[in-house]
Amino acid sequence: MLAGIDPRLDPQSYAFVTAVQPDVAMQLMGSAIASFREDEGLSLIVPYDAALAAGYAVDPYVRITLQVHSALDGVGLTAAVASTLAEAGIACNMVAAFHHDHAFIPAPRAQEALELLTGLQSDGAG
């Protein structure tokens, strides 16, 4: 599966927000690309500008989508990606969806992370 990850950098920046108040939740849900209800409250991944406009002081993240169609019962893809980035000291928040896995990386490290994942793909093909 690693040989086909074909990582793609989304030009949009995103933010993770939580403790969303009901009046703000409706505004942000319309632009959210992911949501998860935790015991502590609703967590959303929203465009960075939307988070700022809603009054959140957050850091920007970029999304690198692994273009390989990952199976929900697949083993090792997330671990390989996260380990590669961890070895370089790059934080990574993985989100697995139905068709693809997505790595959210602090925006200042985007290009470095993309290069590492492209290298991981080459190593997987070799």
- Whichever domain contains 50, its CATH number is 3.30.2130.10
Q: Residue 75's pLDDT is what?
A: 60
Supply the pTM of this predicted model: 0.87
User: How many CB atoms lie under 10 A from the CB of residue 8?
Assistant: 14
Strands (E) located in the chain? 7-17, 34-38, 41-47, 61-66, 93-96, 101-106
User: pLDDT digits over 8-56, tens only?
Assistant: 999 999 999 986 677 777 789 889 999 998 888 888 999 999 999 999 9
Q: Residue 121's pLDDT is what?
A: 80
Q: How many domains does the chain have?
A: 1
User: pLDDT digits over 102-116, tens only?
Assistant: 999 999 999 999 999
**In which domain, by residue range, is 30 found?**
2-125
| Residue of 64, 74, 75 whose CA lies nearest to 118 | 64
* Torsion angle (degrees, nearest 10) of CA 115, 116, 120, 126: 60
User: pLDDT digits over 44-99, tens only?
Assistant: 999 999 999 999 999 999 999 987 766 655 666 788 889 999 999 999 999 988 88
Strand order in the sheet with 41-47: 34-38, 41-47, 7-17, 61-66, 101-106, 93-96
Q: Answer with the residue of higher pLDDT: 15 or 2.
A: 15
User: How many CB atoms lie under 10 A from the CB of residue 60?
Assistant: 17
